[in-house]
Each structure stands twice: as C-alpha cells, then as structure tokens.
C-alpha cells in the first residue's frame, strides 16, 4: 500500500475479524492484538508479504520473526519438537512463550522469516481475537511487534497508528494488551536450552521444568528482542533514579512518584502491563530526557529491567 493511504481501524467483532483474515490471506499487513503486545501480522508463507513487514518496520534483515499458530499440532507442521519442547508447549500454550526449535525441512515458510537460520521462532498466542484470526486465516502468521523497528512496542491500537499509520492496511482494535510485555523466548537445543529473551514467564519456572540453562549463548541473533538497543523512546534514559532532574520525564514505581507510574503499589505485573504505555508518554513529553525508578530484578521484574536496559542503550 502507499504511504499516503490511511490505515483502517477495524472493530474486534465478527465482521472485523473476518475482514482482517481476508486481508491477511490477500498478502497485506494487519496489526493484531495479542496478550503481550500488538503484532504486525503477515502470512508467513509469502516472500512478498514478509518483505512488506520489513519495509513497514524498517527492520534489520538479520532479525528473525516469530510465527504465530493456533495449536501445537500446527506448530509441529513447521518445526521439529523434541520431548522438552513439547512439554514446554503443553505447559505454557496458549500463552506468552516463544520456542526456537529446528525448522522442518518441508515447511512452507518464507526464508526471510527465519533470516536464513535453520531454526524457527514459533508461538501459540492466548488472545481470543488473535486466535480467531488464526483460525479463520488457516495460515501461520509472522507477527513482530507492530511498531517501527527499535521503537517502543505498542500495547493499544493508538500506539500502532502512531508509527505505522499509512504503512499498513489495517489494525484490529482489541483494546489494551493484558500482559504488556513481549513473550519469553526459549531456544531448545540438543545440548540443553537457553533463555533468549526475558518475558512474562519467569526463568525460574523454566528451570523447574528443564534444569539450569546452558550458560553459553550463540553470537547470532536468533529471535526478536536480542539487539542491544531496542524499545527506545528516542531520548536518553536514566535507570535507577530516585527522583527526576529538571529536564527529565519521570517514570515512577512504588514509593517513587513520577509524571506517570508503572505501579504505585509496586506490583510487578501491573508494571509490566504499563511499561510501554509509560515509555510512549515519555516519548511524547517535551522533556528531552527520561528517568526511571528502580525496579526489583526478580520474577517478571527481570523482563522489565531487560527492556529498560535496551531502551537506555
């Protein structure tokens, strides 16, 4: 589509879901709600559709995309699951866990989806609107976060339109995302497993199932969110701040107040859900810098701090 064309906002009702599925089958881009963040969806078997995702996001071509499927059975048509990967999928799907597993030899996946790697990142989302679209499309959908690459991820339809209006066909407005933080990503390897991205499922839950992770990480970018600089509000970000300086927009947490707060009660789940909304507010503020209150580095707090460190890089 032309950059001059406005992006259509679709209601998350039967008609909107049907229209979104029709657009996706036709090979154009639609932003869809998930329980984590909004994803920029395209049919994963189309070279042209995936190229359009990279153009819309301005995304580096070495950064793989996550493929969304409606079930474990659908995932196993694309990827090779061993007992450990199958156990993880059974325990956490539908939900905010992405698995990086070997790509099946005959899988109908555009090569750009995997960035030329022999593995694929795959997830079965829990959001009912996203699941309805997947069922109606009857296609695997590649869906990175629906924003320009490196910017703050979107947790509502307005966030999507702020950077992608006119660059994509439609956004299916399913309201605010419940989790507000991208999925946990785990690579399951012959020699063990590795946590590639912190997310809503804590590492401790994974270790309880699989034992300790392999400490040696691959140097390759195997999944989204591994770039050192990511989730940026476009301004310098100072972490661990107990108060703001005069030119800083303050993001508070717990007893540290601010221009907005992740959670006045110090609730880490609420903080995760509000993280990107607060970063969007900071980006829109006239103040040239951002300060963020300290966040406990435990449970989902580790995922929040991971995003904040990348935003500050």
30-32 and 39-43: which strand pairing?
Answer: antiparallel
> Cα-flanking dihedrals φ and ψ of residue 54, to 5°?
-60, -40
Note down pLDDT in tens along the chain; length 313 residues: 544 579 999 999 999 999 999 999 999 999 999 999 999 999 999 989 998 998 898 866 667 899 999 999 999 999 999 999 999 999 999 999 999 999 999 999 998 898 878 999 999 999 999 999 999 999 999 999 999 987 899 999 999 999 999 999 999 999 999 999 999 999 999 889 999 999 999 999 999 999 999 876 655 657 666 555 667 889 999 999 999 999 999 999 999 999 999 999 999 989 988 898 899 899 999 999 999 999 999 888 998 998 899 889 8
Q: What is the pLDDT of residue 61?
A: 61
Give the predicted TM-score (pTM) of the model.
0.82
Q: What is the pLDDT of residue 226?
A: 59
Task: Provide the β-strand partners of residue 292.
Answer: 251
Three-state SS at 203: helix
């Amino acid at each position: 589509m032309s950059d001059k064309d406005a992006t259509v906002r679709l209601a998350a009702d039967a008609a909107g879901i049907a229209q979104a599925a029709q657009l996706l089958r036709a090979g154009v881009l639609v932003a869809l709600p998930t329980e984590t963040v909004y994803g920029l969806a395209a049919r994963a078997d189309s070279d042209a559709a995936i190229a359009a995702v990279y153009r819309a996001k301005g995304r580096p071509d070495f950064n793989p995309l996550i493929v969304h499927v409606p079930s474990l059975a659908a995932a196993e048509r694309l990827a090779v699951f061993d007992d450990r990967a199958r156990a993880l999928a059974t325990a956490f799907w539908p939900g905010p866990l992405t698995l990086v597993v070997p790509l099946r030899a005959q899988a109908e996946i555009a090569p750009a989806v995997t960035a030329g790697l022999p593995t694929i990142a795959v997830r079965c989302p829990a959001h009912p609107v996203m699941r309805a679209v997947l069922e109606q499309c009857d296609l695997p959908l590649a869906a990175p976060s629906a924003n320009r690459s490196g910017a703050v991820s979107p947790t509502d339809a307005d966030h999507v339109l702020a950077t992608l209006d006119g660059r994509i066909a439609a956004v299916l407005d399913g309201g605010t995302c419940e989790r507000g933080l991208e999925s946990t990503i785990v690579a399951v390897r012959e020699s063990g497993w590795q946590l590639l991205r912190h997310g809503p499922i804590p590492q401790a839950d994974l270790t309880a199932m699989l034992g300790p992770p392999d400490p040696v990480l691959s140097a390759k970018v195997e999944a989204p969110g591994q770039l050192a600089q990511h989730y940026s509000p476009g301004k310098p970000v100072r972490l661990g701040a107990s108060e703001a300086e005069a030119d800083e927009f303050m993001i508070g947490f717990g007893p540290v107040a601010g221009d907005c707060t992740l959670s006045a009660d110090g609730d880490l789940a609420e903080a995760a859900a509000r993280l990107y909304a607060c970063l969007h507010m900071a980006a829109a503020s006239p103040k040239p810098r951002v300060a963020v209150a300290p966040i406990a580095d435990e449970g989902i707090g580790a995922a929040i701090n991971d995003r904040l460190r990348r935003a500050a890089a």
